[in-house]
Amino acid sequence: MDHGENRRGFFASRANMVLLVFLAVGGFYLVSEHWAHLSGVGPLLLLLGLCIGMHFFMHGGHGGHGSGSDENGPPPGGGREPGDHRH
């Protein structure tokens, strides 16, 4: 069953074009009516993006999460006993 000859693009259908126009108009009104709420979230999204970016880019030196403890490296806490206090 070959439908290659009858296949049209997404934008060739009239129903798809009506759907896209409807979604664009609805999206415009949604953003314009709720702009006060969206603009207040902008700085928080920027901060969240910076935190996520730092998390991914700063883990390059030690292999990331879930690698387990290294047998040759010091144990957690720097290898000191809990009561050992140094200056």
Cβ-based burial of 40 (10 A; exposed 0-12, middle 13-18, buried ≥19): exposed
What is the pLDDT at residue 47? 94
Cβ proximity of 31 and 38 under 8 Å = yes
Residue 67 has pLDDT above 80, yes or no: no
Residue 12 has pLDDT above 60, yes or no: yes
Q: Which two tokens stand for residue 10?
A: 């997404």
Q: What is the pLDDT of residues 13-44, one digit of tens each?
A: 899 999 999 999 999 999 899 888 888 888 89
